[in-house]
Structure 1
Amino acid sequence: MSRRFDDIALLRINYLRGPNMWTYRSVLETWLDLGALEQHPSNTIEGFNQRLTQRLPALIEHHCGVGERGGFLQRLEEGTWMGHVLEHIVIELLNLAGMPTGFGQTRSTSREGVYRMVFRARDEQVARCALELGHALLMHTLNDQPFDVDAAVNTLRDKVDDCYLGPSTAAIVGAATERRIPHIRLNDGNLVQLGYGAAQRRIWTAETDMTSAIGENIAGDKDLTKTLLKSVGVPVPEGQAVDSPEEAWEAAQDIGLPVVVKPSDGNHGRGVTLDLRREDDIKRAYALADSEGSEVLVERYIPGTEHRLLVVGGKVVAAARGEEAWICGDGTHSVAQLIELQINSDPRRGVTEDFPLNVIKLEDDPVVVLDLQRQGLAPDSVPDAGRRVLIQRNGNVANDCTEQVHPDVAHAVSLAVRTVGLDIAGVDLVSSDISKPLSETGGAIVEVNAGPGLLMHLKPADGMPQPVGQAIVDHLFGPDEDGRLPIVGVAGSRDTSAISRLVAWLMHLNGRHTGLACQDGLFLANRRVERKPCAHFAAAHRLLMNRAVDAVVIENGAASILNDGLAYDRCLVGVLTDLDGMEQLAEHDILSPEQMFKVMRTQVDVVLGQGAAVLNADQATLLPMAELCDGEVLFYALDPAHPTLAQHRAQGGRAVFLRDGNAVLAQGSQESSSAHVQALQQRFAQAHQSVSASAVLAAVAAAWALGISPELITAGLDTFVPELS
C-alpha cells in the first residue's frame, strides 16, 4: 500500500496589492510547510507525475525555468519540490477558469521544508479560491484519491464571475493599461478609477464621470427620447403611451398596423413584441410590456433589421446587426426540442457574458411564446417536416457591421446621442440596409440607451471585434494624458519622514496641491489631517483616490513593501536612503543584505522612464541600484570629492553634495549653491527634532529631479517650519 502524505500546511497567506519584491503587479504570497514531503520530490513518488498530468494535461504548456514547452514536465521528471508543483497547479487552474496567469515563483526560506510561493493574482478572493482548490488537487493526487477537476474549475470560474470586472469594464481597464494609465477598483462591482488624484476619471461599466444624469434619465424615458429626437429631425417611429390593452388597440389603429408594443423604460429587449397586426396579439403584448416597465408604448413597426450602434464622444465607433432565429420542423421533435437542437446547440450561445449569443429559454421569454402562439404553435407542438418557424425576431444583435455604416446614418445616430445629452450611448436602429441613408430605407432610431453593454462589439458572433475599450479611454484622456501625478516615493530607514515632509513642502510652494503620507501623519496641502503614523499602503491609497490632490509624496518602509507592496504602480521620483533595518524583518525571513536589496529595489524598479532615482552615494550597497532605474539617477553625498559623484558628473550626471554648510547642485562641471543646510538643521533642533545633513541633501535632490528651481528650493527650505501642528 502506498504511503499517505499529510496535508501541506499553509502557514501564512498574504495579498500584495502593489509592486513588491516579486513583481510589478499584485500577487498572492503563501508560506508553505511541506512537512515530510520535503524529503519526497516529485520523481520519488510512484505514479504521481502521471496522475498529475492526466488531471491537468495542459501543464505541458508551462515553460517553467527551462524556457520551452514541456519545461515544467521536465522538472517533474527530474524531481522538484511540492511547493513548486503547487505553484503550477494554481496557475493552471486559473488558466482553465478564464483568468490567464503566467507569473509564479517558489523560494526556500531559512526554515527547512518551509517555502514562499507566489503567483500573479488580479483579485484576492479569486486567488485564495485558486490556492484552496490547487492545494486540494495536489494532496488528492499525491495520495491517489479521486478529484473532480472540472468541478474545481467551475467553482473557480464562478468565483471569477462573482469577483472580477465584467467584460465591458475589463475591456476599458485593459485599454487603459495598454496606454500605461493606472487604475484603482473602488468597489466590489464595476466602479473603477482610471488615473490618480486630480488626473483621474471614473467609469462604471460603460458610463463615465462625464455621463450626464439628466441625459441618462431622458434615455430611460423612451417616449420623451422620441419627442426630443423628432424635434431635431432624427427619424423615429410614430407612437404613443397607453394605459390599457384596449387603449393599445385603439392606438395601433390610429398609428396604422403593424405596430410594436414595448415598455417605456425596459432594457435588453425585454417585453418588446414586434410586427403586431391583430387585436388579441396587441392586447397580450400589452400585458407583457406592462410587466417589464412603468409605462407601455405602441409604435409604428419599422420593417428591417435591428442594429446597435455605439457612440463614444460624438462618434460612432462600432455597430452590430441582429438576425432572426428560426427552427425547421422535422415532424418528430417539438418546438422546445428543436430550439435546443437547432439554436441552443450553437457554441456561440451560453448563459454567461462570455458568449455573444444568449440561450433561448421559453420559460424566461414570454415574447417568444407569444410569437409562437401567433403562428398557431405552443412549446410542445410538433411542426411539420420542412416548416420554418420564427422563434425570435429581435435580440442576437451580435454580428459586426461597423464598416458598413453609411455616413448619413452615423450623423443621425450621433445627433440623437447629443440631443439626449450622453457622452456614451448605444443606439438601437432599424433599417433594411445600414449602408444606405435612413431616408432611402425608411429606417428609424427606436431607442437611445445609457450605459450600453460592449460585449457584442468585443466578441461578435460574426465579424471583427472592435476596439471599443480603447475608444472610451481615448474619450476620457487626451493623447498626451496618462492620468498620472508627480509621485515621490521615499524609502529607507534614515530620516525618511523628514525627507518626505521637506519634499512635500517644496512641491506645495511650487504650486502643487500636495498629499503626504508618512510616519508623522497624513497631510493635505501642508495641513495635517491625521496624526497617527501613515507610512503604509492604505493611507497612500487614500491620497491617490483624492480628486483634490495633484501631487503625492509617500514614505515607504521595508515592512510596508513586504506586507502590502507599493500603493502606486510607477512614480516620477524614487528616493532610497539606505538598506538598514534588516534586524526588524525576521518575521519576513529577511536575513541577508542580498534579501534586503531585493526588497528595497522595488522603489527604484517603479521609477518612470522620464523620472529619476535619488540614491545615497555614501551607502555603497545602494550603488548597484543605479543600473536598475529606467530613468535618470541623481546621487547625493556629504563629500564633494566622493568618487561616485565625481564619476557620475564626469558622465554628465547630476549630483548634490554639502559644501560650507550649503547644498550644492552639480551637473557635469557646472555647480550652483542652494539650500542652507546647517541653518535648517538648527531650526529642527530648536523644535526638539533632528534631521541629518544627508537627509536634507536627499530632499534637495528629489526637488531638483522634479524640476523645482534651485532658487525656490533655497527659499523653500529657508521658510520650512519643522514644528508639527
Structure 2
Amino acid sequence: MTKSPSPSAPAAPDLRIVEQRVYRGPNIWNYEQAIHLVVDLGVLEDYPSNTLPGFTDRLIEWLPGLQNHVCSRGKAGGFIERLREGTWVGHISEHLALQLQNEASHDLRRGKTRAVRGTPGHYNVIYAYVDERVGLAAGELAVRMINAGVAADESFDFETELDDFLRLAQRTAFGPSTSAILEEAVARDIPFIRLNNASLVQLGQGVHAQRIRATMTSKTGALAVDIAGDKSLTNTLLSSAGLPVPLSDTVRTEDGAVMVAKSIGYPVVVKPLDGNHGRGVGINLRNEAEVRAHFPVAAEQSRRAIMVVESFITGNDYRCLIVGGKMQAIAERVPAHVIGDGNHTVQELVEITNADPRRGVGHEKVLTRIALTEGSEALVRNQGFAMDDVPPEGTMVKLALTGNMSTGGISVDRTFDAHPENVEIAEEAARLIGLDVAGIDFICPDISAPVRETGGAICEVNAAPGFRMHTHPTVGEPQYIAKPVVDLLFPPGTPSRVPIVAVTGTNGKTTTSRMIAHIMKGLGHQVGMTSTDGIVIDERLVKRADASGPKSARMVLQNPRVDFAVMEVARGGILREGLGYDRNDVAVVTNVSADHLGLRGIDTLEQLAAVKRVVVEAVPRNGFAVLNADDPNVRDMRRHCSGSIVYFSMQPPGSPERQFIDTRLRRGGRAVVLEPTDRGEMIVIKHGRRSMQLAWTHLLPSTFGGAARFNIANAMAAAGAAFAVDVPLHDIRQGLRTFATNYYLSPGRLNMLDVKGISVVVDYCHNPAGMRALGEFVDNYATQKEASVDNARISRIGVIGGTGDRRDDDLAELGAVAARYFDVIVVREDDNPRGRPRGESAEHVLRGINECIAAGEARTRHVDTVLAEVDAVRHAMVLANPGDLVIAAVDKHARVLAELEEMSNSAYAGSRADEERTGDPDLDPVELNEAAAVSAEEARSDYTDLEPETAEPEELLPQT
C-alpha cells in the first residue's frame, strides 16, 4: 500500500534503534530464535520509500541481493516492488538486516515488522539470526544504511562498513570443520549449545551431551593428543609398529640440526616438534647452509624450542582422514602456486588467483587467499623468477613449500584412488596413536601405489584435523565426513535429547513443577528443575535465585547428570529471551489470571495468554500439551498446539467444561477429571473409552484433606504431564501420595508448621487470583479444624503484601480479596519495592481492604501495617492465640521459616542476634541472607519486570 504523506518536516536521517532484544528460542514472534529491534522513525514516519529520491536505487546498488527478496508478493523482486510503491523504513531495515547476514553466508529469510501499539512512529522489527553478535550488528548497520540513503553522508563509506561487518562475522563464525559437524547434527535433530565464543560446542542435552572443539571430540583422548603433538614420539611409535616413516631425530641447536642432517643424509626436513598448519616447516634442505638458514625460522614457531630433523621424502602430499579407525576421505594437497599465462607477472597472477570468489581471509571461505611473504618471494627467486617477471605459459610457480590450505594451497579429492595397503597403513597409524579423529599425512609419489614399494612414508599424525580440504575440495567430489564423526558421538538410535516438561501459568506452576519432578524422581530419573526458588538437580538446590527464565533452562540442559528436565517458565523470561531451548515434549498451562498486566505492553488477559502459550507452540507433533479446560484462555491454546492435548478439569460431570472434554474423549482424547463418589472425590485419568482411577483427593498430603483445592488442580496437571510421558499409573499415584508441602519438597508453597499451638502456613501468594484460592483453603481448613474441636472458633490472621510492579488497582484488589477471608490482616511489603516509594504498595493494599470493609463485604475486623516482612510475621504471631490459624503470604519464605523455627524453640526471645540462634541448619537465617545477597543480581537477570520499557509489541499473533 502506498502512503500519501503530509509531512510536517523535511525528510531527515532520523531512524534510530530504541531497544534491542535477542530471543534465544521460541518466542512471541516466531517459533525460532530471532532479533527484536524497536525502532523510532522520527520524521521518516511521514516518508515512505517512494517519496525519497534515489533511495531505492542506492540500496540496490549497495546490496544487489535485495532483488531476490520475495516479501509479501511471494516472488523474487517482490520487495523491490514494495520499495518503489512505497513502504516504511522500519520494514526496510528488516530486509537489510537479513540481506547483510546473507552476505556473511548466513542463509536467512524470516522476518516481520509491526507497529508498536500506542506509540506512533515506533515499530517492532523482528528477523532471524545465526550468531547473535552478527545479527545485532546487521540491524545496526541497516539503520545506518537507511539514514545514509535518505541524506547523503560523506562519513558513511558502505564498502568499508560492509568489510568491517564481514570481518566481525568471520571472527565469530564457526570454522568449516565445526560448521560441517553442526550441519550434520541439525539434520539429525541433535540440539547444540555454543559454550564459548570460539568452537567449543555441546551436542545433545543433559546426560546425552557430547562436546566438540573443531574436530576434537569428547571421545578424543588427551594422551593421544599429546602423543600426536610430539612428532618425534609419534615417529618412534609408528616405526616400532613397522609403519613407513622417515628417519628423524630431535635437536635443540643449530649445530645439532646440521649434525643430524649429515647423519641422515641430505636432503632433509627441519620443523618444530610441536608445530601445526605447516608453520616453520622447511623441506628439501640440501646442504648445511640451508639447514642453518632455516633453523631460526622453525625455532620461531616452536613453543618448546625443540626441532625435528628428518629425511626428505620425495612425492606428493596426501592427507588421509581417519574417523573411528576407518578411512573416510583422502585429499591431495597442492601448495599455493600460480600458473604462468605468458602475459601477467607473478604478482599479477597472485592477484588474479586471490580474486577467485572462493578465496577469503583465514577460514572464511573454502579457499584461503595467498599471502606473499619474504619466504614465498625467496621461493620464487629460487625457481628463477622475480615477482615482476612474466612466467612462460603453463609454467607452475610455487609460492609455498607445504600444501596446507591455510597458506593458500588447494586440494584434490583422491578418496577412491588410494591403494588398499595405504588405507590399511593410515588406519593402523590412527589406532596406534589412539585418536578417534586423525589426519594422517602421507608423502609418496602416488597414493594409488603401495607406499612400501614406491618409497613413501607417513610424515605426521594430526589431532583435530581440518575438514575443509575434504568437504570443499578444489577439484573432485566433496566427502561428507561429518556423518561418521556424529555417528561416533551418537550412534544410530542413540538419544541426544532429554525429555523436557515446561510448566507455565499465573498460579500453581511452581508446585506443579515440583510434583512432576517428584514423580519422575520416584522412577529413578535424575531430574533437573528450574523454578522461582532456584535450580534443582536431582533434588539438590545448586543455585538459589529466581530461576524461571531461559538462562536457567540452558544451565539445566548443560548439566551432564540430568536425564529429565522440568522447566518452570515465567512470562517475563519469554518476553525477554524466549524459551532458551528449541522445543519441549510436554507443555503444562495451569491457568491465566490478571497478574503482571500493564507491564511490557501486556494489558489484557488475552495478551497474557498469548505470551504463555509460547510453551504450547513449542510442542512438537509427537508431544503433548496439558491444558486447564476450566480456563477459557487456556482451553483455547489447543488451536496452537502441533501435538496432542491432555485436558484437566475440576468441574463436575454434566458441566459445560466436562461436556467439552467428553466430546474429545469420544475421539480418543486424554483427560484428567474429578469424579464425585460417596467416599469423596476421585482423580480419574481418561483415555478414549478407558477410565483409570488414580487417587482420592483427600488422601493426597498436598491437599490437606481436600481443603487445598488449588493443589488438587496442580496434582491433576502433574498427573496429566506424567501420563503424557508414559509413566505407569502406579508410579503417578505413588508420586502424588508421597508429595507433601513441607519445606523440603515444596519450600514456600503452603508450608504448615505448629508454633506453640498456632497453625502457621507460609505461602508465596501475591496476586488476587492466588489470594482467592488461598482464602478458599483458609475457609475449608478452618472449618475442618473447628469441627474437630467442638465447633471452637478459630481466628484467621493473614500477613499479606503486593508486589510493587503491579498496577495500583491490582494491589487494591489483592487487599479486597484478602478482607473477605481473614479476621485480622497485617499488611507488609517486599524488600524490593520495584520502583515505588517505601509504603506506597501497602497503602494501595490497605485501600482495597478499607473499601471492602466499607461495602460491608469484609470478614476483617482489624488491620495493621508493618512493612518489614519478618516484623510483620512476628506481629501476627503476637496477635494469635493457641489454636488460631496464621497465613503468612511472604516473599522471602526461607527467612520467615527460619524465624518461625526460632519461635517454636521454647527458649525463643525474639531479640537475639542471628548468629546466636539455633535450629535447622537448612533454615539458618544468616546463611540464607548471605546467599540471597550473592544471588540478588542473578535473580534480577531472570526477573524481567525491573527495567522501564519504551515500546511493546502491537499484537501477539499466532506465529506463521
**Length-normalised TM-score, structure 1:** 0.93
Aligned equivalents of 2:342 and 2:596: distance in 1? Answer: 80
Q: Which residue of 1 aligns with 2:557?
A: 544
Aligned equivalents of 1:348 and 1:3: distance in 2? Answer: 45
Q: Which residue of 1 aligns with 2:729?
A: 710
Question: Displacement of 1:25 after TM fit?
Answer: 2.2
| Cα distance, 1:402–1:593 mapped onto 2, change above 3 Å | farther
Larger mean CA deviation between 124-133 and 52-61 belongs to 52-61
Aligned equivalents of 1:384 and 1:172: distance in 2? Answer: 43
Q: Which residue of 1 aligns with 2:616?
A: 604
Question: Displacement of 1:723 after TM fit?
Answer: 1.6
Q: Which residue of 2 aligns with 1:637?
A: 649
Q: Which residue of 1 aligns with 2:173?
A: 164
| Cα distance, 1:385–1:245 mapped onto 2, change above 3 Å | farther
Question: Displacement of 1:561 after TM fit?
Answer: 0.7
2:634 is equivalent to residue 622 of structure 1: yes
CA-to-partner distance for each residue in 1:658-679, whole Å, 9 max, x for gaps?
1232211111211111133333
Contact 1:505 1:720 in 2 (8 A): yes
Q: Which residue of 1 aligns with 2:191?
A: 182
Aligned equivalents of 2:712 and 2:324: distance in 1? Answer: 53
The structure having more radius of gyration, on CA atoms, is 2
Question: Displacement of 1:654 after TM fit?
Answer: 1.6
SS at match of 2:112: strand
Equivalent of 1:721 in 740, 743, 747: 740
Equivalent of 2:213 in 204, 212, 217: 204
Aligned equivalents of 2:33 and 2:479: distance in 1? Answer: 29
Question: Displacement of 1:10 after TM fit?
Answer: 2.0
Question: Displacement of 1:117 after TM fit?
Answer: 0.9
RMSD: 2.7
2:64 is equivalent to residue 64 of structure 1: no
Q: Which residue of 1 aligns with 2:696?
A: 676
| Cα distance, 1:165–1:333 mapped onto 2, change above 3 Å | closer
Contact 1:98 1:157 in 2 (8 A): no
Contact 1:611 1:632 in 2 (8 A): yes
Equivalent of 2:719 in 700, 708, 719: 700
Work out the number of aligned pairs and report it: 720
Question: Displacement of 1:341 after TM fit?
Answer: 5.1
Q: Which residue of 2 aligns with 1:228?
A: 237
| Cα distance, 1:31–1:689 mapped onto 2, change above 3 Å | farther
Aligned equivalents of 1:528 and 1:329: distance in 2? Answer: 70
Q: Which residue of 2 aligns with 1:259?
A: 268
Contact 2:14 2:43 in 1 (8 A): no
Counterpart AA for 1:717:
L
2:138 is equivalent to residue 130 of structure 1: yes
Equivalent of 1:658 in 665, 674, 678: 674
Equivalent of 2:321 in 304, 310, 332: 310
Q: Which runs of 5 or more residues in structure 1 are unaligned?
A: none
2:65 is equivalent to residue 53 of structure 1: no
Q: Which residue of 1 aligns with 2:842?
A: none
Question: Displacement of 1:480 after TM fit?
Answer: 1.4
Aligned equivalents of 2:389 and 2:72: distance in 1? Answer: 61
Aligned equivalents of 1:85 and 1:347: distance in 2? Answer: 28
CA-to-partner distance for each residue in 1:474-530, whole Å, 9 max, x for gaps?
211111124100110012212111110000000111110001111233212223334
| Cα distance, 1:26–1:330 mapped onto 2, change above 3 Å | closer
Larger mean CA deviation between 258-267 and 216-225 belongs to 258-267
CA-to-partner distance for each residue in 1:331-372, whole Å, 9 max, x for gaps?
99876x366357545554443313444444343x63x45545
Equivalent of 2:577 in 564, 568, 584: 564
Q: Which residue of 2 aligns with 1:527?
A: 540
2:149 is equivalent to residue 141 of structure 1: yes
Counterpart AA for 2:714:
A
Counterpart AA for 1:352:
G
Contact 1:314 1:418 in 2 (8 A): yes
Counterpart AA for 2:624:
A
Contact 2:266 2:286 in 1 (8 A): yes
Contact 1:97 1:153 in 2 (8 A): no
Contact 1:517 1:555 in 2 (8 A): yes
Question: Displacement of 1:535 after TM fit?
Answer: 1.0
Equivalent of 1:113 in 113, 121, 140: 121
Equivalent of 2:416 in 392, 403, 413: 403
Aligned equivalents of 1:342 and 1:131: distance in 2? Answer: 34
Larger mean CA deviation between 1-10 and 219-228 belongs to 1-10
Aligned equivalents of 1:360 and 1:531: distance in 2? Answer: 54
**Length-normalised TM-score, structure 2:** 0.71
How many percent identity over aligned positions?
37
SS at match of 2:310: strand
2:88 is equivalent to residue 81 of structure 1: yes
| Cα distance, 1:592–1:9 mapped onto 2, change above 3 Å | farther
1:350-389 correspondence runs (5 A): 350-363=360-373, 366=375, 368=376, 371-372=379-380, 374-375=382-383, 389=397
Q: Which runs of 5 or more residues in structure 2 are unaligned?
A: 1-6, 404-408, 745-960
| Cα distance, 1:657–1:328 mapped onto 2, change above 3 Å | closer
CA-to-partner distance for each residue in 1:275-310, whole Å, 9 max, x for gaps?
232232233233322322232222222221101122
Contact 1:258 1:275 in 2 (8 A): yes
Contact 2:13 2:146 in 1 (8 A): no
Question: Displacement of 1:125 after TM fit?
Answer: 1.9
Contact 2:706 2:712 in 1 (8 A): no
CA-to-partner distance for each residue in 1:124-145, whole Å, 9 max, x for gaps?
2222211111101111212244
| Cα distance, 1:97–1:349 mapped onto 2, change above 3 Å | closer
Counterpart AA for 1:709:
P
| Cα distance, 1:166–1:231 mapped onto 2, change above 3 Å | same
CA-to-partner distance for each residue in 1:82-113, whole Å, 9 max, x for gaps?
21111111112222233232111111222222
Counterpart AA for 1:35:
G
Contact 1:362 1:379 in 2 (8 A): no
Contact 1:327 1:338 in 2 (8 A): no
Contact 1:40 1:81 in 2 (8 A): yes
SS at match of 1:156: helix
Question: Displacement of 1:326 after TM fit?
Answer: 4.8
| Cα distance, 1:360–1:142 mapped onto 2, change above 3 Å | closer
CA-to-partner distance for each residue in 1:526-565, whole Å, 9 max, x for gaps?
2333443221112221111111111110011222111111
SS at match of 1:203: strand
Aligned equivalents of 1:10 and 1:386: distance in 2? Answer: 56
Larger mean CA deviation between 196-205 and 522-531 belongs to 522-531
SS at match of 2:429: helix
| Cα distance, 1:338–1:301 mapped onto 2, change above 3 Å | farther
Larger mean CA deviation between 226-235 and 398-407 belongs to 398-407
| Cα distance, 1:451–1:651 mapped onto 2, change above 3 Å | same
Equivalent of 1:393 in 389, 401, 404: 401
Q: Which residue of 1 aligns with 2:308?
A: 297
Larger mean CA deviation between 503-512 and 279-288 belongs to 279-288
Contact 2:336 2:370 in 1 (8 A): no
Question: Displacement of 1:457 after TM fit?
Answer: 1.9
2:163 is equivalent to residue 151 of structure 1: no
Question: Displacement of 1:120 after TM fit?
Answer: 0.8
Aligned equivalents of 1:684 and 1:482: distance in 2? Answer: 37
Aligned equivalents of 2:394 and 2:449: distance in 1? Answer: 34
Contact 2:672 2:684 in 1 (8 A): yes
| Cα distance, 1:189–1:668 mapped onto 2, change above 3 Å | same
